[in-house]
Structure 1
Amino acid sequence: MTGSARRRELGACLRAYRRLVAPQQVGLPAGGRRRTPGLRREEVAALAGVGLSWYTWLEQGRVTASGHVLESVGRVLGVDGAGRRHLRLLSAQVEAPAGAPAADLASLLAGFTGPAVLLDHRLDVVAANPGWTRVWGDLRVLEPARRNVLWQLAAGSSALPVDDPGPLVTALRRQFRMAANLYAGDPRIEQVSELLHADAPAYSPLWDCRGIGGFGSPAVVVDGQRLRAHLLEPAGRPGSMLLFLAAAPE
């Protein structure tokens, strides 16, 4: 991804977040006519302690920013810690991981009694344990283009022992959006986005959302048991993620 493309993605993120912040949330009066929802650029610039012209250029993708400035802007816009880290990454040099996660990571799946799956940075499924396959089905029966965890959760078979995968889909979508920003132009990411729109239209507002943020620990009910999802990134293995579900404490 080129520096200019990353700057454009950074600007798009800032504009999207700015429109979600009501004036009263940051101590400003709610009155007055506004052409668009959210804060004005001059309000963000003043609250973050930066110049209006410079902030305008930042949203337009014409300049870069230091981590300190992006941290300040992110706090004004109500972006959480993971989201602010993402904003800083967009202003840095980020290389796409080379290839899929190493095969030795797949052996970790055997240690999980609950559903667990190994993913790459695009959320494509590299390997799954029997617990995951039992709940969400065997991806090997799918064409390679659809072997993606978001597609599997949102567009897979409806005859699953899962009450509502929505919270988990939402959390994973935030991760996918961050990857789409960092690796803009990746044809596989664009292909997955098109498949999600085509095969899971019920989630269309989510697919179109530019929201980013931490994964958290979304809950999902499987076979009547409440489980929480956890997403781990093994140290020293960029582009590798381990997603597993474990019993939620009472």
Structure 2
Amino acid sequence: MSTVAAPLALVHSTSAKPEEIRRRELAAFLRSRRERLSPEQVGLPALGRRRTPGLRREEVAQLAAVGVTWYTWLEQARDIQVSTQVLDAIARGLLLDPNERAHLFTLADATDPAPPAMCPTVTPAVRAIMEQLEPMPVVVTNSRCDIMAVNRTYRHLITDLDAVAPEDRNFLWLAFTHPEWKKVLVDYEGATASMVAKFRGAMADHVAEPAWKSLLKRLRLASPEFEAQWERHEVGMVGHGEKRFRNPHVGLLHFEFTNLWLGPRQSTRLVTYSPADDETRERIERLHAYAVSKEQAAVGQ
């Protein structure tokens, strides 16, 4: 993948309005991407002599199926409206890679209708970080609330996650269908209401995706409690905060949790749970020791 050049328009007058700076930056970016391409690269005939490198504006307009005058205004930083469909066509015509495409939509202050798929895997480096943070519980999750990876302490924070079927390892599904989660989550109603609100907020970007629709349908059929929460149409955002668990092995645990994003988009994140008091700190040491002993016993079998 290519890298995006450092902003050039930001050196203009500091008195310029933010939207004007954004338009200038968009214009400069489009020119730079146009000038690096040859007609042959985009399937056009190379006609006539070229005084400047790259594609002509009329050729980009042809590729994006827009008027030449309109595209010229775009490269001149004129104050015009740009639809997401046109931006998508320009991105395809200019052969933008995922980084460049995201940059284009950011500069245009628009939402990408077809964002690049994010890789759902958890890298060995992230798993090493999770292990190094023990005895603190750590989990990797995504905006759909899937549990993607846990360290040993988190594995036994609420219930033994090894005993949960892989297709059921989702925070929402477990909170509304697994009896242990209802016992362990202190302030269960508040916690689940917050989860549902965050899920609704995240789903706005994924309403047409089968995996999201399937999970929503499954939850609504399985849990009248979830259905009631869903029908409230509350919307929430992911943030930091406090959470308490009544762990079956060591008792009450009080944490401050922090979200660390693992990519450029707010999707996959690593969540750390730091003890909020000395009692929790001591108890989490004991829970970690319990988790290690369970792992060693499993290996010895």
1:1-250 equivalences under 5 Å are 91-93=110-112, 95=115, 97-104=117-124, 105-110=126-131, 111-158=133-180, 160-208=183-231, 209-222=233-246, 223-236=251-264, 239-248=267-276
Partner-residue secondary structure (3-state), 1:122: coil
TM-score of the aligned structures, taking structure 2 as reference length: 0.46
Cα distance 1:217–1:96, how it changes in 2: closer, same or farther (>3 A)?
A: farther
Compare 134-143 and 178-187 and name the one that shifted more.
134-143
The 2-side partners of 1:178 and 1:91 are apart by 18
The 2-side partners of 1:134 and 1:64 are apart by 49
- Contact 2:139–2:272 (CA under 8 A) maintained in structure 1: yes
Q: CA deviation at 1:210?
A: 4.2
Cα distance 1:225–1:175, how it changes in 2: closer, same or farther (>3 A)?
A: same
The 1-side partners of 2:178 and 2:161 are apart by 10
Q: CA RMSD in A?
A: 3.3
The 2-side partners of 1:207 and 1:190 are apart by 13
- Contact 2:198–2:235 (CA under 8 A) maintained in structure 1: no
Partner-residue secondary structure (3-state), 2:157: helix
Give the aligned length. Answer: 165
Partner-residue secondary structure (3-state), 1:168: helix
Asked which structure has the greater RCO (Cα within 8 Å, sep 6+), the reply is 1
The 2-side partners of 1:225 and 1:102 are apart by 27
Partner-residue secondary structure (3-state), 1:191: helix
The 2-side partners of 1:147 and 1:117 are apart by 12
| Residue ranges of structure 1 left out of the alignment (5+ in a row) | 1-62, 66-89
The 2-side partners of 1:99 and 1:235 are apart by 10
Q: CA deviation at 1:181?
A: 0.6
| Residue ranges of structure 2 left out of the alignment (5+ in a row) | 1-81, 85-108, 279-301
Cα distance 1:166–1:227, how it changes in 2: closer, same or farther (>3 A)?
A: farther
- Contact 1:216–1:230 (CA under 8 A) maintained in structure 2: yes
Q: CA deviation at 1:196?
A: 2.1
The letter of the residue matching 1:92 is T
For residue 24 of structure 1, what is the aligned residue in structure 2?
none
- Contact 1:151–1:196 (CA under 8 A) maintained in structure 2: yes
Q: CA deviation at 1:120?
A: 2.6
The 1-side partners of 2:194 and 2:239 are apart by 5
The 1-side partners of 2:262 and 2:119 are apart by 16
TM-score of the aligned structures, taking structure 1 as reference length: 0.54
Partner-residue secondary structure (3-state), 1:242: strand
Deviations 1:96-153 (CA, angstroms, capped at 9, x unpaired): 5333133232332211423221113322111112222212224443333322122123
